[in-house]
């Protein structure tokens, strides 16, 4: 692996205080501004429709503020009788824009009533996605980068499965997925960062 000054600069731009603030904002430790109002996210559980809507709006506005092309993906699982929305921020690629890299985590937590801080599961992974987005926004990459935050994951892979199905139906070329889960505290050695690569 050869030294890359651009990558080194992005790594140096990551600061512990910023990551801690993202987790504090997501877990209700800090009040956050959402739609111009100060809000405390007491839970991010998908079945708490009010709080889930606020949590997804918070990360939507965060990514929009970075200059990313952001959209919601609505999903509805009739079998589990749960519905929600994912947040997808996109940084368009240059010469290989049709090839897509996903950086993902699930945003939701348990239980559906507060306080449900979910700082580790999965505020830590969500903060990882936010950190990657903040660090990479404004940079140029050959491939398209998407920063995806899924809901409905505490009830199974509901939001992520809906998004995967949409990408498959559209015939999109997903070449890599980096998924982050429960990374904040690893006393049981069960923190997960999973990197999936396209098979040739």
Active site positions, annotated: 153
Supply angle C-alpha 172, 175, 181, rounded to 5: 105
In whole angstroms, what is the distance from residue 89 CA to residue 66 CA?
10
Tokens linked to 27: 């877990």
User: How many CA atoms does the CB half-sphere of 70 hold within 13 Å?
Assistant: 22
Tokens linked to 13: 């731009």
């Amino acid at each position: 692996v050869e030294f890359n000054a651009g990558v080194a600069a992005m790594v140096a731009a990551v600061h512990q205080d910023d990551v801690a603030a993202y987790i504090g904002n997501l877990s209700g430790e800090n009040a956050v501004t959402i739609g111009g109002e100060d809000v405390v996210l007491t839970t991010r559980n998908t079945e708490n429709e009010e709080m889930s809507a606020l949590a997804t709006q918070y990360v939507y506005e965060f990514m929009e503020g970075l200059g990313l092309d952001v959209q919601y993906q609505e999903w509805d699982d009739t079998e589990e009788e749960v519905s929600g929305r994912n947040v997808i921020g996109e940084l368009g690629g240059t010469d290989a824009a049709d090839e897509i890299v996903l950086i993902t985590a699930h945003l939701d937590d348990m239980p559906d009533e507060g306080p449900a801080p979910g700082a580790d599961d999965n505020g830590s992974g969500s903060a990882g996605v936010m950190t990657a987005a903040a660090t990479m926004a404004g940079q140029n990459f050959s491939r398209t980068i998407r920063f995806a935050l899924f809901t409905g994951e505490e009830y199974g892979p509901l939001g992520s499965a809906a998004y995967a199905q949409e990408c498959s139906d559209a015939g999109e070329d997903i070449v890599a997925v980096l998924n982050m889960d429960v990374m904040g505290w690893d006393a049981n050695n069960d923190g997960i960062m999973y990197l999936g690569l396209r098979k040739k």
